[in-house]
Amino acid sequence: MLFSEVIGQEAVKQRLISTVSDNRISHAQLFLGPEGSGNLAMAIAYAQFISCTTRLETDSCGSCPSCLKYQKLAHPDLHFIYPINSTKEVPKPRSAKFIEKWRGIVTKNAYLSLGQWYMEIGIENKQGLINAEDCNDIIKRLSLKSFESEYKVMIIWRPERMFHAAAPKLLKILEEPPAKTLFLLVGENQEQILKTIVSRTQIVKLKRIEEEDLSAALTRNNGILETEARHLAIQSAGNYTEALRLSESNETRDFNSEQFQVWMRHCFKSDWIQATEWIDHVAKLGRERQKNFLQYCIGMIRQSMLLNYRIRELVNVEGNDLSFVKNFAPFVHAGNCVQFAELLNTAHLNIERNANPKILFLDLSMKIAELLKQKSHTHERQE
Residues 163-218: tens digit of each pLDDT: 877 788 788 888 888 888 999 999 998 988 989 999 999 999 999 999 999 999 99
pLDDT attached to residue 343: 94
Q: pLDDT confidence of 313, banded at 50, 70, 90? A: low
pLDDT attached to residue 46: 97
What fold does the segment set 250-373 form as a domain? Zinc Finger, Delta Prime; domain 3 (1.20.272)
What is the C-alpha to C-alpha distance for residues 286 and 366, in angstroms, rounded to an integer?
22
Backbone φ, ψ for residue 224 (5° rounding): -85, 135
Residues 2-11: tens digit of each pLDDT: 999 999 999 9
pLDDT attached to residue 106: 96
Q: May I ask the CATH architecture of the domain 3-205? A: 3-Layer(aba) Sandwich (3.40)
pTM for this predicted structure: 0.72
What is the C-alpha to C-alpha distance for residues 86 and 121, in angstroms, rounded to an integer?
9
State the chain's mean pLDDT as an integer.
88
C-beta separation of 73 from 80 below 8 A: yes
Q: How far is residue 138 CA from its own chain's centroid? A: 24
What is the mean predicted confidence (pLDDT) over 318-322?
73
Q: Which of 56-65, 71-80, 133-142 has the weakest average pLDDT?
A: 133-142
pLDDT attached to residue 111: 95
Q: Is 300 exposed, middle or buried (0-12, 13-18, 19+ CB in 10 A)?
A: buried
What is the C-alpha to C-alpha distance for residues 236 and 245, in angstroms, rounded to an integer?
9
Tally of CB atoms within 10 A around 270: 13
Query: Sheet harboring 202-205: ordered strands across?
Result: 78-81, 152-157, 181-187, 28-32, 202-205
- Angle of helix 250-269 relative to helix 272-283, nearest 10 degrees? 150
Residues 253-279: tens digit of each pLDDT: 778 889 999 999 999 999 999 999 999
For residue 242, pLDDT beyond 60: yes
Q: pLDDT confidence of 381, banded at 50, 70, 90? A: very low
Considering only residues 303 and 314, tell me which one the structure prediction assigns the higher pLDDT.
Answer: 303
pLDDT attached to residue 63: 94
For residue 320, pLDDT beyond 80: no
Q: Where are the domains of the chain?
A: 3-205, 212-248, 250-373
Residues comprising the chain, all counted:
383
pLDDT attached to residue 88: 87
Q: pLDDT confidence of 378, banded at 50, 70, 90? A: very low
Q: pLDDT confidence of 382, banded at 50, 70, 90? A: very low
For residue 303, pLDDT beyond 90: no
Q: pLDDT confidence of 315, banded at 50, 70, 90? A: low
Q: pLDDT confidence of 318, banded at 50, 70, 90? A: low
User: Of 80, 6, 90, which is closest to residue 41 (Cα–Cα)?
Assistant: 6
Distances (CA, A) of 157 to 85, 184, 311: 15, 8, 38
Tally of CB atoms within 10 A around 133: 17
What is the C-alpha to C-alpha distance for residues 134 and 120, in angstroms, rounded to an integer?
19
What is the C-alpha to C-alpha distance for residues 354 and 222, in angstroms, rounded to an integer?
34
What is the C-alpha to C-alpha distance for residues 308 and 327, in angstroms, rounded to an integer?
10
pLDDT attached to residue 278: 95
What is the C-alpha to C-alpha distance for residues 272 and 274, in angstroms, rounded to an integer?
5
